[in-house]
A and B are shown apart, each in its own frame.
Chain A
């Protein structure tokens, strides 16, 4: 007689799956609409950032309007502009000071790849220093491009899983 082994842990397979998925969705939903941003602005792209953040394009509609000028309170690091080798340690420190969860956006060609400055002074892309979630091309990018990229980031935040909360630490 073949006996079917069923796992009887907690709420059982189906229900547990349902609860974690719903919890994931809920945490993701909460996070993606309360992205506090830390703008790390160094160059001309800053103008475009201002127009995105202010009334014309209004980032606040998407729940990321609140600017925190302390890395400790921020979720999203916006690197806007050219990063030189002299400045690289500062950017790294700011990133390290941010608490998890944190996301990084490379805003503009300079932050993505060094842009037109392929020379002795400029870091060729901030992903040389810190990990990046979304790259926004353009010199400078149109505000619509920025909104598109940030909505993509929201989708990414929404999809992040939280299984690690329930599994044992290895």
Chain B
């Protein structure tokens, strides 16, 4: 039985009344902004029947420097059996950028969260192995944060033209 896209958002709004901050639709894709403490509950609700969002397409982060809730986590979900797409967003404060890990729900969240940690310094509570994914050991800072210096380079071996780096 086909479920309409609007039904999912409707059900979410009814079930998690005070946890849904904002709902918007753009080019037919729905976005739901939620409170960060309810992330795991909402995700588990969506993964279960009847919605069956079995696939985490992508998980990423945006840095809105200067705003009180500096980081925004973005989750793209896809339901293979019902052919539904949904985008979940949640804001994290700059002082404490931490959120529940989704590794218990989706295995592929493991590396995606490691990437977000590497690039933005977001901490994922309950992640089994929160270590850098792309940058090397000894790299300082998180390069995709807006306050990472544009020209800062951290070579591992000595560069022959020192002023170039």
Contacts and interface: CB of A to CB of B under 8 A. Distances in A.
A131 to B, nearest CB: 8
Given A85-B136, A86-B135, A86-B136, A124 B157 contact: no
B143 interface: yes
Given A120-B148, A124-B165, A129 B159 contact: yes
A28 B159 CA distance: 32
A119 B152 CA distance: 8
A93 to B, nearest CB: 10
A89 B158 CA distance: 10
B-side interface mostly: loop
A125 interface: yes
Contacts of A85: 136, 153-156
Interface residues of B, number: 16
A88 B155 contact: yes
B156 A128 contact: no
Contacts of B165: 124, 128
Contacts of B161: 125, 127-128
Contacts of B157: 88-89, 92, 129
B164 interface: yes
Contact of A128 (B152, B154, B164): B164
B160 interface: yes
A92 B158 CA distance: 11
A85 B165 CA distance: 11
B159 A128 contact: yes
Interface of A: 85-86, 88-89, 92, 119-121, 123-125, 127-129
Given A120-B152, A127-B161, 20 more contacts: A85-B153, A88-B155, A88-B156, A88-B157, A89-B157, A119-B143, A120-B153, A120-B154, A121-B134, A121-B135, A123-B159, A125-B161, A125-B164, A127-B160, A128-B160, A128-B161, A128-B164, A128-B165, A129-B157, A129-B159
